Structure formats: structure tokens, C-alpha cells
Amino acid sequence: MPREHDFAPLESALEHQFQRRDLLVLALTHRSLGHERAVESTPLTGHDNERLEFLGDAVLGLVVSEAIFALNPDWQEGELTRVKAHLVSRKHMARVAESIALGQYLLLGKGEERTGGRRKTTLLANAMEAVLAALYLDGGYDAVRRFAERMILGETARQLAAQIQVDATLGDAKSALQEQLQAAHCGTPVYTVERETGPDHRKHYQVMLRIRRADGSLTDAVTHGVGGTKKKAEQDAAQIALERIAAAGVQTLLGVEAES
């Protein structure tokens, strides 16, 4: 676990030196460590990055929305929405986190440490949002905007802008999956909520994707998706299915139970 003075390389990657280093430390503190501290009855009971994650999600959405709105004056709402969905997605934010080696700075409980928490996509994406909130609170909107322009938009945004000209389903994995299944005469996707956790203001959903065959029967689960809303969880499941199709063909979704 890094000591406080070991965060200088991360500040360099963020291009911001924190005046309130405690904000950065809190942004890196996973709830698993907060739980262990609660068990130990320390003064830091309950301190973790979930509240910052909530703020970071909002700040990220605004920064990305403003940037693509300004850069693409000819885009309509649908195009802006689809590209934004890619740029703020869990997968992309995890990649951003990996690009600045965020995982090595995370403050984790023993259980998360043992199970490879520093490499988990969801954990990295959530921590990245929390760090953006800390950056916003300490350095203001411009500090977040500068980081976003370098690390969140950059080449990825340019590639998406080019792709959207030829791919109407960009950012809408559910529609893209349904089109591929229909073209291959493989049936239609069916999404079912498996699990719903968290308080009302911070729900997390897990969705199972199955395929309804032409004879009406359902496959076993082919993918599972997670997200802060049912729609996001369904999109996540569909995106994973599309990646499986790209790797091994559409028939891989039929009659095969996939790993979650």
C-alpha cells in the first residue's frame, strides 16, 4: 500500500499537485478497506471513495458532453449520446485508469487485495471517477477538462467520430446485437435482471442475456452485464456478446453457457 508521499507519480500523470492530498487519498480508498477499518473501530470508519465516485460520474459526464458538443457541431443528439456512452463507459474508464497505473495506488482491504482488485475493470473505473471528483474539488473544472482532453477523449474520440459516419449502431450494443442475430437467423436477445443491489440513489444491476431461438426455446445464459441502471447493464451484456461474436462467430451464442 503506497504511503501518502508515494502519490507524486500519480499527481504527475494527472498533471496536478493536490493542495488537499487527503482528497486524493480518499478517492483511492476502496470500501473494502473502509469496512475493515470499521471492524477495527478506527477513527476512519466508513471513509471510502463511493461519495466521490458519485460526484466524479457527474463531472465526467459534463466534461465529455461539453467537449464532443463543441468538437462536432454537425452532430445531432443521438450521435452525441452514442459517442458519450463510449467515452464514459466502464471499459474505457478502466483503460484510462490503466494508462496512468492507477491500480498500484489503490488502497484496498485484504480481501480485495487477495482477489486481484487492482486489476478489476469495475473497481478501476469507479476509482477513476472518484479521482476525477478529487481533481475537480481540488483544482476546479479546468483541471478535469485538461486531463479529459489528454486521456479520456484524445485519439479515442477521433476514432469514434470517424466510425460514427459509417456505423449507425455505434454506442447502441443492444441494437447492433439484435441486427446481427436477425441477419444470421439466430433468434432474438432476451434480458433478465438477476440481481439488484445498493441503496435507491446508487443502484447496481446485474443482467443475464439469453437468446430466444426460432422454436421459442431459450439458450442458457450467454453473457452477464452490470451497470448503474437496467439499461446500462443490458448494454454491457450486449457489448460482451458482440465481442464474443467478433472473436468466434455468432453461433457461439447458441447453446453455450458463457462465463460471467
- Active-site residues, by number, are 57, 129
Residues 6+ apart with CB under 8 A from 141: 59, 63
Q: In this structure, what is the dihedral angle of CA atoms 132, 138, 140, 145, given to the nearest 10 degrees?
A: -30
Closest alpha carbon to 131 in 38, 233, 23, 232: 23
How far apart are the C-alpha atoms of 234 and 225, rounded to whole Å?
A: 6
Strand partners, 195: 206
Convert 224-241 to b/e letters by CB count within 10 Å (16 or more is b).
Answer: bbbbeeeebbbbbbbbbb
Amino acid identity for residue 10 in this structure:
L
Amino acid identity for residue 176 in this structure:
A
Q: Which three cell numbers stand for residue 74?
A: 454537425
Neighbours of 40 (CB within 10 A): 9
Residues 6+ apart with CB under 8 A from 134: 18, 23, 24, 26, 27, 52, 56
